C-alpha cells in the first residue's frame, strides 16, 4: 500500500457519460498530480494541485476538470466521454516543493468507455 488511495479501481461507462475519479494523497503530501496512461503509451500529465490550488496544466482536455479539496483529496471529472478516453488514470502525490522528492503513485483507476 503506497498510501495514495484511488477509487474506484475499475469503471465501465458509456460514451457521452460523465465520471468522477477520486484520489486521497499520502498523509502529509500537499501536491497531487493526475496522469493518463493509455495502452502502449507513456504517462501523459494532466494537471497538478498544491494545497488546494491549481499549479500546472498539461495535456488536459476541456472536457476534463479537476479540483483539490480542503482535506487535500482530489477529484478528476471526465465528461462527454469518448472511446478514446479509455485508459488508466493515475494520481500521484508528493510532499510539496522540493527537488529531491519523488512522487508516490496510487494503483490507478482503469476506465473503459464502451
Residues lying near other proteins in the complex (CB under 8 A): 2, 4, 31, 33, 42-43, 45, 48, 50, 55-56, 90, 92, 94, 96-108
Strands (DSSP E) contained in 25-96 are 31-37, 43-50, 53-57, 64-68, 74-78, 87-94
Q: Which residue lies nearer to other proteins by CB, 4 or 78?
A: 4
Q: Which residue has the cell 491549481?
A: 54
Q: Which residue lies nearer to other proteins by CB, 86 or 107?
A: 107
Q: How far is the CB of 15 from other proteins (least distance, A)?
A: 25
Q: Which residue lies nearer to other proteins by CB, 25 or 106?
A: 106
Q: How far is the CB of 21 from other proteins (least distance, A)?
A: 13
Using an 8 Å Cβ cutoff, are 47 and 57 in contact? yes
User: In angstroms, what CA-CA distances link 86 with 12, 51, 55, 78, 82?
Assistant: 9, 29, 26, 11, 8
Q: How far is the CB of 19 from other proteins (least distance, A)?
A: 19
Q: How far is the CB of 85 from other proteins (least distance, A)?
A: 19
Is 85 in a helix, a strand, or coil? helix
Q: Which residue lies nearer to other proteins by CB, 10 or 14?
A: 10
Amino acid at each position: 500500500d503506497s498510501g495514495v488511495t484511488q477509487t474506484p479501481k475499475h469503471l465501465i461507462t458509456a460514451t457521452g457519460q460523465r465520471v468522477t475519479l477520486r484520489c486521497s494523497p499520502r498523509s502529509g503530501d500537499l501536491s497531487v498530480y493526475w496522469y493518463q496512461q493509455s495502452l502502449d503509451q507513456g504517462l501523459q500529465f494532466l494537471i497538478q494541485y498544491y494545497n488546494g490550488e491549481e499549479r500546472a496544466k498539461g495535456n488536459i482536455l476541456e472536457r476534463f476538470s479537476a479540483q483539490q479539496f480542503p482535506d487535500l483529496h482530489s477529484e478528476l471529472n471526465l465528461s462527454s466521454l469518448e472511446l478514446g478516453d479509455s485508459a488508466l488514470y493515475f494520481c500521484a502525490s508528493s510532499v510539496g516543493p522540493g527537488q529531491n522528492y519523488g512522487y508516490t503513485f496510487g494503483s490507478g483507476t482503469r476506465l473503459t468507455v464502451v
